[in-house]
Amino acid sequence: MKHPSSISIIDFSYDLPNERIAKYPLSERDQSKLLVYQSGQINQFTYRNLADQLMGDSLMVFNNTKVVEARLYFKKDTGSIIEIFCLEPADEYGDITSAMLQKGKVLWKCLVGGAKKWKDGKIICETNNKGTTIIIEAQKIQQLSDAYLIELSWSDLTICFAELLHIAGSIPLPPYLNRTTEETDKERYQTIYAKHDGSVAAPTAGLHFTDHVFAELAKKNIEAAYVTLHVGAGTFKPVKSATMQDHEMHAEFIEVNYDTIFQIMNKLGNGIIAVGTTSLRTIESLYWLGIKTYIDPNLSMDEFTVSQWDPYELNAEHISSSLALHALMNWMKKNNAIKIITKTQIIIAPGYQFKIMKGLITNFHQPQSTLLLLVAAIIGDDWKRVYQYALDNDFRFLSYGDGSLIWAND
């Protein structure tokens, strides 16, 4: 597998006028345009007719993470506003779910807007829940390399942190929308199948799916599998280095059930379509976790992760996808695990050889982003043709925009 460390990010540029960025979603989710790329051919449809573009008996993999209201606003005695953007739990928590269920107090890694105005001590805000006033306090514990470790505590000990965010927080829209969150965003910046609290950004490819689309998929016996990757703010992290060698890929929590891995393994020959880059990164990470357990059946929990360059440095040429997933499930049985919870830092860029995915449903991504590298890993330089077609045919870009179905080149 060709190592992508020497890739120059400047080669993945294109001109994206601001007016092509969708500031708001369409009123009907499945009326968004769908660009279909297959074997060099480009065609245009809508998501409502997605089932017509897919093979019967195939498998679609969805990310059922739920966006949390991760922005909290505190007012100092001076009247200045401090914004705390909750990114991910402190390292002492084994996973996001357990951290979200903490009551009374939690440690969280956060970005702080107006940090210079907050020298020390606690800052306080009040919120109301069904007539009861809740006092929330925040205190800086430690400055990290790119965030702060914040202790958040609240007066109502009957509610967990996830509930507190639902009550007091705001949905964190992507920064490139350049607008404040509105009431409609609470519903529209969430997939209809969102289940597990933990993301600070939506898996936006799934925003186009409706009950009608799912019903049409079911008519063709197209199955759905659900994985969980909690999207971090790192998904918007710009590539600032000239080459990928010096870019540190963001790590994100993934959670996948044993039964889902079994379902994926049984559908390898039928065609597996990832709905969104997060689903794709998750299912490809399953393969590399399987490789690690194949190489070392006694792999420790500390080593049970996927690092940025693992796919390019592990010797896996002779190990099939089926064999790798078998090894992973055997490791889970040995460790009495009904699901895996770990972090992946996988970077998928040109040179990557896909092990599980045959097709990807995804929106149109920012220039010079790791997500654009991922698209180029699937279809090579044809990404330029795809994006030019989208620009020429009035497709809407980024999170609230239109999308594409991209089939991997053979």
Residue-wise pLDDT for 266-304, tens only, equals 999 999 999 999 999 999 999 999 999 999 999 998 899
The mean of the pLDDT values for the chain is: 94
pLDDT at 237: 66
Assess if residue 178 is contained within a domain: no
**Same domain? 202 vs 99:** no
* Residue 94 in this model has a pLDDT that exceeds 90: no
* Residue 79 in this model has a pLDDT that exceeds 80: no
How many percent of the chain have pLDDT more than 90?
84
**Same domain? 123 vs 55:** no
Digit-coded pLDDT (tens) for 317-341? 889 999 999 999 999 999 999 999 9
Residue length, the chain? Answer: 410
What range defines the domain where residue 364 resides? 4-66+189-407
How many percent of the chain have pLDDT more than 70?
99
Assess if residue 278 is contained within a domain: yes
* Residue 234 in this model has a pLDDT that exceeds 70: no
Assess if residue 183 is contained within a domain: no
* Residue 59 in this model has a pLDDT that exceeds 90: yes
pLDDT at 299: 95
* Residue 95 in this model has a pLDDT that exceeds 90: no
Assess if residue 387 is contained within a domain: yes
pLDDT at 235: 65
Digit-coded pLDDT (tens) for 40-56? 999 999 999 999 999 99
Alpha carbons 64 and 257: distance in angstroms, whole number: 12
Alpha carbons 74 and 184: distance in angstroms, whole number: 23
Q: Structurally, how many domains does the chain consist of?
A: 2
**Same domain? 350 vs 402:** yes
**Same domain? 194 vs 129:** no
More confident site: 175 or 293:
293
Digit-coded pLDDT (tens) for 1-10? 789 999 999 9
Specify the pTM. Answer: 0.94
pLDDT at 236: 62
End residue of a domain, out of 138, 169, 200: 169
Band (248; pLDDT cuts 50, 70, 90): confident
Band (240; pLDDT cuts 50, 70, 90): confident
Assess if residue 175 is contained within a domain: no
Assess if residue 122 is contained within a domain: yes
- Averaged pLDDT for residues 87-115: 92
pLDDT at 232: 80
pLDDT at 11: 95
Assess if residue 24 is contained within a domain: yes
